[in-house]
Amino acid sequence: MGFFQDMIAVFKKKELLFLESFKESDDVYSFLFEKPQHLTWNAGQYGLFSIAHKTIKNNTRPFSIASAPAENVVRITTRISSNPSDFKKALLELKQGMSIKMGGPVGAFALDDNSPSLLVAGGIGITPIRSILKQLEAEKRGDERPIHLLYMDSNQSYLFKDELDRIAAHTLVEVTYLNRREDVQQEIDKFIALHKDNGNYFVAGSKSMVDSVAAHVQSRNIPKRNIKKDVFFGY
């Protein structure tokens, strides 16, 4: 999607009917919404979600769409602390029959060619990558090129681990679980040694994590155009 198409998509808001929510871990929740008939997205994109059932300040937030286009739901997954924002309080109040509005999808964080790809996720940054890998699984396309996921989580909770392990078991997608940035850099260097600038590098997570990984990749003479970033703010 180009810039102007993104802008049109943002202003054409869709109403999504709430289905259910559940805990993924102590402080992470998933929210599932009915997928409207004509809604589609590229795996890895995000939407702008707006609270519709009550009036709050700052009622719109961006969230990666954690579900794949091939799945029959729109899924967002987010951290919710013990002192959540008004927006996240409103999410927790959703009941069946209520709805939320979504602008988009937007964003270019998506696999778009058959180059070897290294996916680096930090914490909740796994959400767009879940979408990407679930779509590859649905399309039976996980064997076309080397794809390696580095999933770093200092708490070692590893959201979606069962799903990721299943995808890795049935495709050539490789998944490595890590809990230190130093180990992530070592794995990146191994991938670069194999594929150099023939590879694409996707990094999703907090700003500090994304900036650190992107800088490390560039320091190994990988062009900026080969690096796609998805920065998560305020989670």
Range of the domain at 141: 117-232
The answer to whether residues 92 and 1 touch, using CB atoms and an 8 Å cutoff, is no
146 in any annotated domain: yes
Residue 101's DSSP bridge partners are: 15, 50
Which of residues 41, 71, 106 is at a domain's end?
106
Residue 67, helix vs strand vs coil: coil
The pLDDT value recorded for residue 13 is: 87
CA angle, 70 then 75 then 78, to 5°: 145
The pLDDT value recorded for residue 65 is: 98
Give the Cα separation of 154 and 135 in Å (integer): 27
Give the Cα separation of 72 and 229 in Å (integer): 27
The answer to whether residues 135 and 43 touch, using CB atoms and an 8 Å cutoff, is yes
Q: Is there a single domain that holds both residue 73 and residue 135?
A: no
Q: Is there a single domain that holds both residue 24 and residue 55?
A: yes
Residue 41, helix vs strand vs coil: coil
| CATH label of the domain that carries residue 135 | 3.40.50.80
What strands lie across the sheet with 14-25, from one edge to the other? 60-64, 46-51, 99-106, 14-25, 28-34, 73-79
The pLDDT value recorded for residue 144 is: 76
Residue 231 or residue 3, greater confidence: 231
Q: What is the pTM of this model?
A: 0.91
Q: Is there a single domain that holds both residue 163 and residue 183?
A: yes
| pLDDT per position as a tens digit, 133-189 | 999 999 887 677 899 999 999 889 999 999 999 999 988 899 999 999 899 999 999
Residue 49's DSSP bridge partners are: 61, 102
Number of independent structural domains in the chain:
2
Q: Is there a single domain that holds both residue 136 and residue 155?
A: yes
Give the Cα separation of 83 and 141 in Å (integer): 41
Burial of 124 (0-12, 13-18, 19+ CB in 10 A): buried
pLDDT at 66 > cutoff 70: yes
Report the 10 Å Cβ neighbour count for 123: 22
112 in any annotated domain: no
Q: Is there a single domain that holds both residue 187 and residue 218?
A: yes
| pLDDT per position as a tens digit, 78-88 | 999 989 999 99
46 in any annotated domain: yes
| CATH label of the domain that carries residue 63 | 2.40.30.10
Give the Cα separation of 139 and 173 in Å (integer): 14
111 in any annotated domain: no
52 in any annotated domain: yes
The answer to whether residues 67 and 43 touch, using CB atoms and an 8 Å cutoff, is no
The pLDDT value recorded for residue 4 is: 43
The answer to whether residues 30 and 76 touch, using CB atoms and an 8 Å cutoff, is yes
Mean pLDDT of 22-46: 94
Give the Cα separation of 100 and 47 in Å (integer): 12
